[in-house]
Structure 1
Amino acid sequence: MLAETVREAARRFGDAAAFVDPDGTRLSFAALDAGSEAVAAGLAARGLGAGDRLVLRLASTSRYVLAYAAAAKLGAVTAGVNPVLAPPEQVRLAELADPRLVLTEPGEVDELAAFGAARREPGRAPRPLPADDGRPVAIVFTSGTTGAPKAAVFTERQLRAVTRIDTGGVWAEQPGEPTLASTQFAHVGFMTKLPWYLRRGLRMFIQGRWRARDTLALLAEHRMSTVNAVAPQLALLLRVPDFDDFDLGAVKLIVAGAAASPPTLIEEARRRLDARYSVRYSSTESGGCGLGTDPDADDDEALFTIGRPRPGIACEIRDEEGRPAAVDEVGELWLRTPSAFAGYWRDPAATAATLVDGWIRTGDLGRHDERGLVRLAGRRKEMFIRGGYNVYPAEVEAALGTHPAVAQCAVVPRPDPVMGEVGVAVVVVRDGAPAPALADLRDHLSSRLAHHKLPEDLRLVTDLPLTAVHKLDRAALSRRILDSP
């Protein structure tokens, strides 16, 4: 599916730019097709064949895309390793895939292309692989925020399903719509979605390292209509001192995924960008497809929920026994989607625990209301118990985020000799707002949450620690809180 899409995009869009590297180098759709053929020949000469794993420990540039497309043309499986991770972490993930080849330097892709081009017979294109929906194409490593990372496998069938969910399978009539690469290419948001990016004829601008001010400059310069980001990135964009000096009038839609969006962030982003806002919820295992709020939703849906399942996707909240939970009852969120991963690489036990009768057990807790909207309550492993009562950090954070002085927040537990555990509110104060006291926050929350859910300690910080994919790093935050007086 990926290989045929690369070829068809080249035929349709030709020399139009598909990717623009941080240094300004452009890779056209035609060059992606021809270049990946050459890289494929180079990889084949080094012994990579159908079913073999190619690990890419490469920065997110056009060379990564060339190698990924080349492997797909050979029927090999690409596993991307985020280069932001520490070297020992990268090595562990690479070993998990049991690779035939590992590429660690961008120059290696150039060498493969040159070698492959020299060996190819002029005018003779390689024979395309026969169609096989069950053929593995990509391995995407989970973030490991609640345990050891696992390797989720996606086949041609899942990539086709992702494309159908996100685009309806329709090709763009012409190329050129500019967009930003908002995630590392090793992330599920690129590995499973590259085919539909190509179908849309997108011109994707790649940032070497995400910086808020550089992002605003690109949005303004190229008159981009959509901002794709995670909530922490959006919060940083709004904190750029000269934000209002950028001409962002072309922006019409904000799509925020991967992390919950605090209500005050949604309100501020909508107002200052004069754009609609859609919260998206998904997981690595779902192929990056799941639920979303309507961009034109009322405030209750837009500010406090993750919306409803997208077309073709089912969602249920289930209790501890796996039975559907009642309205407003907290339970685990289960997803059923044609884009669901095929399984974890060589880990049938973990696969069976997560993929049950075609349903993905996400490990996230939530509840649905009478309108069918889903409200997150946090991760199952993040829940803590105060005095015998369950407390879900995400629920407290959603309410805490409505305080006018709170720009970003998190709630983590700390041990307590009486209650067992109590909540600590960690707050980044909104620019220009007075720093709130714990009593102020508790008073604000008292009409929204039960008494046992109110935080009993407060830490004011300048920023929250993030993982390599810009999610809140709760483990690092908990260590920071427990290690500080």
Structure 2
Amino acid sequence: MAIWQFLHENAARQPDRLAVIHERCQLTYAELEDWVERIATGLHFQGLAGCDRVVTVLGNTPEHLALLLACFRAGLVVVPLAPWSILAQIRYALRTSGARGIVAPTATLQAVFEDHGELRPDIIINTGDPLPIPGMIPWEVIEAGPGEVPPLPKSDRDHLAIIVFTSGTTSRPKAVVHSQNRLARRVIAYADRLQLTPRDVAYIIIGIGRPVVLAGQVLAMLRCGGTIVLRESCDPAAFWEGFRQPPQKTLTFGAPGVMKSLLAHPASREVDWSQCPYWLVGGDCVSPELHAGFIARAGRPLIEMCGMTETGFYSLNPPDRPRIGSIGQVLPGVTVRIVDAEGTPVSCGEIGEIAIRTPDGMIGYWNDTAETFRVIRDDWLYTGDLARMDADGYLWFVGRSKDIIVRMGYKVSPILVEQALETHPSIERAVVVGAPDSLAGQVPFAFLQLAANQPAPNADELRTYLADRLDPPSIPDSFVPIAEWPLTYAGKLDRARLVWIATNGGVPF
């Protein structure tokens, strides 16, 4: 099934049902499909066809949502970037993907191509400025759609759908390619696991170009015939203001840091959290404190899920029987095994690398056959993530294999050390990395975000505190307070930067 068929089928089945709600407008399924068809035809009329790549640098707007769907409808390959992407990141995406088109605000486009004219694609579409600008096509021209061009043919044939860049936390961002049919099948499996219906309403605060949001909220709603509520900001005050407004929200997603900020905001005490059954969280480890705080407020646990850019989500905690701290059970259509360094499956409960086999994973890395071949071996994708699986098939994340600290031959899990540190009343958040050591090879090095209105502990106090919670090799040699966490372009914690800081004496900035 092609992605655009989700919209087409619900536009035929329930044309007057609300598909999209945004502060500027509301769209029924019939109106959204008509708009998408016009944009797709407009893109085709400008010469974009086949597997041409189109970079988007837009926020959570109805225009961006319709553009993504129009690219799928026209058989184009969308390359979504966050609206806050820096110029180097946009240029990297243009160069790597070989894009023939880009859609972005006028000011962004002018800055991107200043002194980099060689990167200019054939089709440059500007938003936010309806006046003609030399070399650019106003968005209004595209969305109007040329009336004299016949409608695009409807086909079930699979097409390349999207190129997504990895977050680049451990290496240079890689361009991951997914096809429409594979992406659609993942959405169907996910929506069926959650038993989503037309009564569901997805409340979206994370960028819709991110795979987990595009598949897990946007396309999931179009699949089940539900409603998409778009917010352009994940500011906690704005979130709760929108949460209180109708319709009743039933599904939302955020990283642990987002959920923590929502929980801490005063407005969170004035709403009924229980009305939303699906509070999904992923992208990072969820601390026991966040789980406990959420249960106290919402009366139900967060639903942890896990995935990666290359596979999409592959595990999800069953909403009716979640296990707190687990990333859930494997989704239908996916096979997961836990293997040792030689690729041999380990025993139940033992820690090993997560290997995934699914017919609906990535096609491969764009223009990088060697890296594709390195990651996928004999149909198994080796994630680099360490976990254990219990007797009931629940996965328990341990850490990334590249993050594991090897001290005198002993393997230290940063996550376990971080969780122990975060039980200390003076520590808001802890991140532990490996620092080089001439004798031990590596030693744990802890960065600490201190809690407000709490005394700052010294290193000796922390070592004494950890002595009852960790084995001796896991206790960090150094503890350094940090005021602001370094982030990657994708907004994730930049562990590589922290390793560099630890290697160079522990001075954060």
| TM-score, normalising length: structure 2 | 0.84
Q: 1:431 to 1:28 in 2, by over 3 A?
A: farther
How far apart, in 1, do the equivalents of 2:353 and 2:257 lie? 25
Which of the numbers 221, 230, 243 marks the counterpart of 1:206? 230
Task: Tell me which residue corresponds to 2:60.
Answer: 60
Task: Tell me which residue corresponds to 1:261.
Answer: 286
Instruction: Report the 3-state secondary structure (helix = DSSP H, G, I; strand = E; otherwise coil) of the residue aligned with 2:445.
Output: strand
Instruction: Report the 3-state secondary structure (helix = DSSP H, G, I; strand = E; otherwise coil) of the residue aligned with 1:75.
Output: coil
Instruction: Report the 3-state secondary structure (helix = DSSP H, G, I; strand = E; otherwise coil) of the residue aligned with 1:350.
Output: helix
Contact 2:357 2:380 in 1 (8 A): yes
Please tell me the root mean square deviation across aligned C-alpha atoms, in Å. Answer: 2.9
State the AA in 2 paired with 1:103. V
Contact 2:190 2:331 in 1 (8 A): no
Task: Tell me which residue corresponds to 2:201.
Answer: 178
Please state how far the C-alpha of 1:428 moved relative to its aligned partner: 3.2
How far apart, in 1, do the equivalents of 2:304 and 2:19 lie? 27
> 2:331 aligned with 1:310, yes or no?
yes
How far apart, in 2, do the equivalents of 1:347 and 1:377 lie? 29
> 2:376 aligned with 1:355, yes or no?
yes
Please state how far the C-alpha of 1:349 moved relative to its aligned partner: 0.9
How far apart, in 2, do the equivalents of 1:9 and 1:230 lie? 30
Which of the numbers 255, 278, 286 marks the counterpart of 2:303? 278
Please state how far the C-alpha of 1:408 moved relative to its aligned partner: 2.6
Task: Tell me which residue corresponds to 1:245.
Answer: 270
Range moving further from structure 2, 241-250 or 263-272? 241-250
- Map of 1:80-479 to 2, 5 A cutoff? 80-105=80-105, 108=126, 111-112=138-139, 114=141, 117=144, 119-121=146-148, 126-133=151-158, 135-168=159-192, 174=198, 177-193=200-216, 194-222=218-246, 223-287=248-312, 289-295=313-319, 297=321, 301-303=323-325, 305-430=326-451, 435-479=456-500
How far apart, in 2, do the equivalents of 1:291 and 1:442 lie? 36
Identity of aligned residues (%): 27
Q: Deviations over 1:202-250 (max 9, x none)?
A: 3323232321222222223344233421111111122224532344342
How far apart, in 2, do the equivalents of 1:89 and 1:450 lie? 42
Q: Deviations over 1:78-104 (max 9, x none)?
A: 111222221111110122111111112
State the AA in 1 paired with 2:430. C
How far apart, in 2, do the equivalents of 1:112 and 1:314 lie? 43
Instruction: Report the 3-state secondary structure (helix = DSSP H, G, I; strand = E; otherwise coil) of the residue aligned with 1:382.
Output: coil
Task: Tell me which residue corresponds to 2:113.
Answer: none
State the AA in 1 paired with 2:105. E
Q: 1:399 to 1:458 in 2, by over 3 A?
A: same
> 2:44 aligned with 1:12, yes or no?
no
Please state how far the C-alpha of 1:58 moved relative to its aligned partner: 2.0
Please state how far the C-alpha of 1:434 moved relative to its aligned partner: 5.0
Q: 1:458 to 1:238 in 2, by over 3 A?
A: farther
Q: 1:68 to 1:118 in 2, by over 3 A?
A: closer
Task: Tell me which residue corresponds to 2:133.
Answer: none
Instruction: Report the 3-state secondary structure (helix = DSSP H, G, I; strand = E; otherwise coil) of the residue aligned with 2:38.
Output: helix
Q: 1:319 to 1:184 in 2, by over 3 A?
A: same
Task: Tell me which residue corresponds to 2:112.
Answer: none
Contact 2:205 2:233 in 1 (8 A): no
* Unaligned 5+ runs, structure 2: 107-124, 131-137
How far apart, in 2, do the equivalents of 1:281 and 1:441 lie? 32
Range moving further from structure 2, 191-200 or 257-266? 191-200
Contact 1:219 1:248 in 2 (8 A): no
Q: Deviations over 1:249-289 (max 9, x none)?
A: 423342111111011111111112222321111111112x2
State the AA in 1 paired with 2:75. G
How far apart, in 1, do the equivalents of 2:454 and 2:252 lie? 26
| TM-score, normalising length: structure 1 | 0.88
Q: 1:57 to 1:242 in 2, by over 3 A?
A: closer
